C-alpha cells in the first residue's frame, strides 16, 4: 500500500494514476482518429 495507512487511500492513489495512464494510452491509441464522418440529423424539440 506504499506506506499509506488504509486500503481506501491506496485505492484512490493508484486509481488516480491508473486513470491518468488510461487517458494517455487511449489518446495514443486513438491519435488523430477522426472516426465516422460528421453527418448527423439532430431531433430538435418543439419550438416554444
User: Which residues of this protein are in contact with other proteins, per CB under 8 A?
Assistant: 2-6, 8-9, 12-13, 15-16, 19-20, 22-23, 26-27, 31-32, 35, 38, 40-42, 44-48
Q: How far is the CB of 4 from other proteins (least distance, A)?
A: 5
Q: Give the per-residue SS3 of the chain.
A: CCCCCCHHHHHHHHHHHHHHHHHHHHHHHCCCCCCCCCCCCCCCCCCC
Answer for the pair 13, 4: CB distance below 8 angstroms, yes or no: yes
Q: How far is the CB of 11 from other proteins (least distance, A)?
A: 9
Q: How far is the CB of 10 from other proteins (least distance, A)?
A: 9
Amino acid at each position: 500500500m506504499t506506506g499509506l495507512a488504509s486500503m481506501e487511500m491506496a485505492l484512490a492513489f493508484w486509481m488516480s494514476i491508473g486513470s491518468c495512464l488510461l487517458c494517455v494510452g487511449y489518446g495514443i491509441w486513438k491519435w488523430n482518429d477522426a472516426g465516422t464522418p460528421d453527418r448527423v440529423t439532430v431531433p430538435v424539440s418543439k419550438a416554444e
